[in-house]
Structure 1
Amino acid sequence: MAISGLNCSRWVAGIGAGFFAFGAVAADLTPAPAAPVAEEAISSPSPWQVRVRALGVITKDDGSIDQAPGIGLQYSDTVIPELDISYFFTDNIAAELILGTTYAKIKTDGLGDIDVGKAWLLPPTLTLQYHFTDFGAFKPYVGAGINYSLFYNQSDKAGFKNLDVKNDFGWALQAGFDYMLDEHWGVNFDVKKIFLETDWKVDSSPVGGAPLSGKAKIDPWLIGAGVTYRF
C-alpha cells in the first residue's frame, strides 16, 4: 500500500508538471496586445475664402434719350479695389459675394459728347460657382448670379440738374481661376459680365429746362486680378 501511494503521488506530480509546462508554452505563444495607434489628424480646409483684387470696370457705351431719338449715352471706365467673400458648401460648390464701389461719368453720344453728370455705383453681386478640382494647384471655376446696382451721390454738370439714375437688378456671368501657392495663399484672375439696363432722367437747362429721360444700358465687364486667402 505504501508503494502504491508513492507511485500515485509521483503520477499526480508528473501530470501537474506537464500542465504547468503547457501553460508556460501557451503563454509564450499568446500574441501581445497591439500598441495603440495614434489616429492621424486629417485637416480639412475652412469653407471661408476671401480675395482682394484690382478691378477694371469696362462699360458698354449704349443707352437712349427718349426726347432725342438717335442720340445715345456713353460712360467712363474705371479701375477700383474690390473685396470678395466666398463660402464653400462642398469642394465644388461655392457662393461668392463681391463688394466694391465705382463711378461712371455720363455723356451724350452723337450730340457733341456733352457731359451730363456723374453717378457713384455700388454693385453687390452674388454668384453661385462650380469649382473644378482635378488640376492640382490650378483651380478654375465658372459661375452665374444676380447683381443689384445702387446709384448714389449723383451730381450733374453745368446745364443739367437733378440727375437720377435708378437702382436696378441685373444678371451676372463669371469665369476665373485660383492658382494656390500653398494651403492658404494663392493668386486669382476673374472675369464677370453684368447685364444692367436701368432708367435715368435729368432736367436740361439748354432746352428750356425740359426733362430728359431714357434707358442707360451699361452692361459692364468686371476684369480683376488679385490675391486669394483660404482660411
Structure 2
Amino acid sequence: MKKLFFAAIALSLFSGNFATAQEKTKSGDFKRWQARVRVIGVAPNESATIGVIGGDVKITETVIPELDFTYFFTKNIAAELILGTTKHEVKTIGSDISAVGGSTNTSVDLGSVYLLPPTLTFQYHFFPMAEQVFKPYIGAGINYTIFYNEKAGNVVKDIKYENSVGFAAQLGFDLMLDDTFFINVDAKHLFLSTDVTVDASNLAAGLSIPADVKINPWLIGLGVGMKF
C-alpha cells in the first residue's frame, strides 16, 4: 500500500513536470515562415554623369506586384527575400546634341528596360504591444539587379546596361489580423547604380555614349501575408 502511495506521488510529479515542459515548449514554438503579396510603387531617385552629350537622366516611376518570403531564425531576427520585376522608360534631359544637328538642350529617348532586383534583407522585429498585434521591423541587406529586354527606342541604335550589386535599407510593420494573416506596410531604399553604354553610331560614325547612372529607387509597398 505504501509503495502504491509513493508510486502515485511519483507519477503525479512526473505528469506535472511533463505538462510544464510541454507548455514551455509550446510557448517557445512559433511559425518560422511567412509569405506576402504586395503592391509596390517604385520611385527612382535618379541622377547620371553622361559622356559626350552631357545632361542628366529621367527614369519613369511604376507600380508592380511583388512576392516575398521571410524566415524567422528567432522571434526577433529574420531574413526576407523579395521577388519582382519592373519596366522603366528612360531618357536624357538637358543634353547637347548639336554635333549631330540637334539642340544644345534637348531630351534623348533611350527606350525602355526591365529590372529584376532580387533583394535579401536581414531584419529585427519589435513587439511593442503585449498583444503582439503591431509588429514593426527594420532591415538591411543586399540586392543584385539584372537589366534585361532593353529597347533602344527610335533615336539611338542600341543601349546596354551592366548588372550590378547594391545595398538595401528597409523599414516596415505587420498588423496582425489573427495568428496567421496580417497586413503589411513596407518601405525599402535600394542603393543601385549601373554603367550604361549607348550605341549612337546611327547618328554619327563610331559614336558611343557612356553614362554612370544612379537609380537609387524607393520601393513603397502595401500588402497581405500569412504565417506558416
TM-score category (smaller protein): 0.7 to 0.9
Q: 1:137 aligns with which of 133, 150, 155?
A: 133
Check whether the contact 2:30–2:75 (CA below 8 A) recurs between aligned residues.
no
Give unpaired runs (5+ residues) of structure 1.
1-22
Partner of residue 212, structure 2: 215
Check whether the contact 1:127–1:143 (CA below 8 A) recurs between aligned residues.
yes
**1:104-150 CA deviation, whole Å, 9 max, x = no partner?**
11101113332112111100000010000232200000000001100
- In structure 1, how many angstroms separate the alpha carbons of the residues matched to 2:224 and 2:67? 10
- In structure 1, how many angstroms separate the alpha carbons of the residues matched to 2:74 and 2:157? 51
Number of equivalenced pairs: 204
Check whether the contact 1:123–1:147 (CA below 8 A) recurs between aligned residues.
yes
Offset of residue 31 of structure 1: 8.3
- In structure 2, how many angstroms separate the alpha carbons of the residues matched to 1:146 and 1:99? 13
Partner of residue 112, structure 2: 118
- In structure 2, how many angstroms separate the alpha carbons of the residues matched to 1:161 and 1:128? 42
1:201 and 2:193 are equivalent in the alignment: no
Q: 1:186 aligns with which of 182, 187, 203?
A: 182
Check whether the contact 1:119–1:151 (CA below 8 A) recurs between aligned residues.
yes
Q: 2:39 aligns with which of 50, 54, 57?
A: 54
Q: 1:101 aligns with which of 85, 89, 93?
A: 85
Q: Alignment identity in percent?
A: 45
Where 1:134 maps in the other structure, the secondary structure is coil
Runs of at least 4 residues off by over 4 Å: 34-38
Task: Kindly provide the amino acid, as one letter, of the partner of residue 93 in structure 2.
Answer: D
**1:39-93 CA deviation, whole Å, 9 max, x = no partner?**
3662632211111100000001311211123x01110110000011111000110
Task: Kindly provide the amino acid, as one letter, of the partner of residue 121 in structure 2.
Answer: T
Task: Kindly provide the amino acid, as one letter, of the partner of residue 84 in structure 1.
Answer: D
Offset of residue 213 of structure 1: 1.1
Offset of residue 208 of structure 1: 4.3
CA RMSD of aligned residues (A): 2.1
- In structure 2, how many angstroms separate the alpha carbons of the residues matched to 1:149 and 1:77? 17
Offset of residue 206 of structure 1: 3.0
Task: Kindly provide the amino acid, as one letter, of the partner of residue 113 in structure 1.
Answer: S
**1:3-61 CA deviation, whole Å, 9 max, x = no partner?**
xxxxxxxxxxxxxxxxxxxx9xx99xx68936656836626322111111000000013
Task: Kindly provide the amino acid, as one letter, of the partner of residue 104 in structure 1.
Answer: H
Task: Kindly provide the amino acid, as one letter, of the partner of residue 216 in structure 2.
Answer: D
- In structure 1, how many angstroms separate the alpha carbons of the residues matched to 2:209 and 2:121? 35
Q: 2:75 aligns with which of 84, 87, 91?
A: 91
